[in-house]
Amino acid sequence: MKFNTKTIHGGQKPEKSTGAIMPPIFQTSTYAQTNPDQEFHYSRGENPTRKALEDSFAAIENGTKGFAFSSGLAAIDAVLRLLKPGDEIIAGDDLYGGTYRMFTKLFQKYGLEFSFVDTDSLKNITDKITENTKLIWLETPTNPLMKIADINAISNAVKEINNEILIAVDNTFATPYLQQPLNLGADIVMHSATKYLGGHSDIIMGALMVKDAKLAEEIHFIQFAAGAIAGPMDSFLALRGIKTLHIRIQRHCENGKVIANFLKNHPKVGKVYYPGLAEHPNFELAKKQMKDFGGMVSFSLKEETKEAAFKFLENTKLFTLAESLGGVESLANHSATMSHASIPEEERLKIGITDSLIRLSVGIEDVEDLIQDLENALQA
């Protein structure tokens, strides 16, 4: 199947007892068993609605196994539980604030060691590898500065040094429609399915997708033992969202390009962060690695103050000031005080997350209305 077909049919079949096209919401904790070995016995381990979603997850990322978690952070937590005290993780220096918080405030005190590097340079990663390195954690595009990491080059170089090191990619911004990290050499793909996979701002969910059977068994054990599963109702909603992923992302991409170019040429805007602009330092890599450039656009104001950013954000009407991203509606975020507030100011400023930086999740509305909304807020 090609991708657009996979979003609708991948891993799916009509429900056995009724022939229902959409899997029912199996709102149950337990199951009557005819023998102790049957597939469904307790919903922490397996649930038919969640399984349908997980089969779809695997299909759209070209994996063999997918896992639906209670949140994106729960999915990341499961990956880190593959490791043990003393293991080292190399991560990008531009990360979602919640990921950074989990790494530094939770797992560091349990004995894991973290190095944060600019993943633009392959050498930055390979120079940090030691005999204790067990995981490379990548975001691409990054949140919120939209950097692009070369998944294939990083995977090849790291595996040449030590084939046992795992490569994990947070693919939330790109979605499987735009890039498929497992095809590029990664071992684990992670999504905050709250975002584009769900697509309607109505669920909290995380996803992991893998190809290796042994790795799948380990993650399944961690999920079953720790219990951070997605519920059947949320699983139903996420599966519904995936069925329109391809057409939604096409519009997100179309609108994102127009918005990025509008902002680039606006006299009150300083810098625009969007991999689809020719002046983006990773433009050529983004063209090669991604099918299109996505709907996430960040920008800074020429008046580089928090007050200027707040004034802009208080005057948008269609771009709603809110946490999160990836829904059909357009959202605006002040990274320094919202999504990345848990990162110390010194670290934020070092990588470019300034007080005037604004992150837009460009929705699928008519783009002329979105531009007018931005123009009104910039001129307010």
Helices within 47-120 (DSSP H only)? 48-60, 72-80, 97-101
Q: Is 42 a catalytic residue?
A: no
- Alpha carbons 73 and 71: distance in angstroms, whole number: 5
- Residue of 96, 177, 196, 273 marked active site: 96
- Report helix, strand or coil for 333: strand
Residue 362, classed as helix, strand or coil, is coil
Q: What is the DSSP letter of 20?
A: -
Rounded Cα distance between 144 and 297, Å, is: 8
Catalytic residue among 93, 170, 187, 292: 170
Residue 170 falls in the annotated catalytic set:
yes
Catalytic annotation present for 187: no
Angle at 253 between CA 242 and CA 296, to 5 degrees: 90
**Closest listed residue to residue 69, CA positions, set 245, 190, 201:** 190
User: CA geometry: angle at 117 spanning 111 and 119, to 5°?
Assistant: 125
Q: Please say if 195 is a catalytic residue.
A: yes
Catalytic residue from among 50, 65, 147, 195: 195
Of 203, 191, 240, 245, whose CA–CA distance to 67 is shortest?
191
Q: Which helix (H) or strand (E) holds 321?
A: strand 320-321
Q: Tell me the catalytic residues.
A: 44, 96, 170, 195
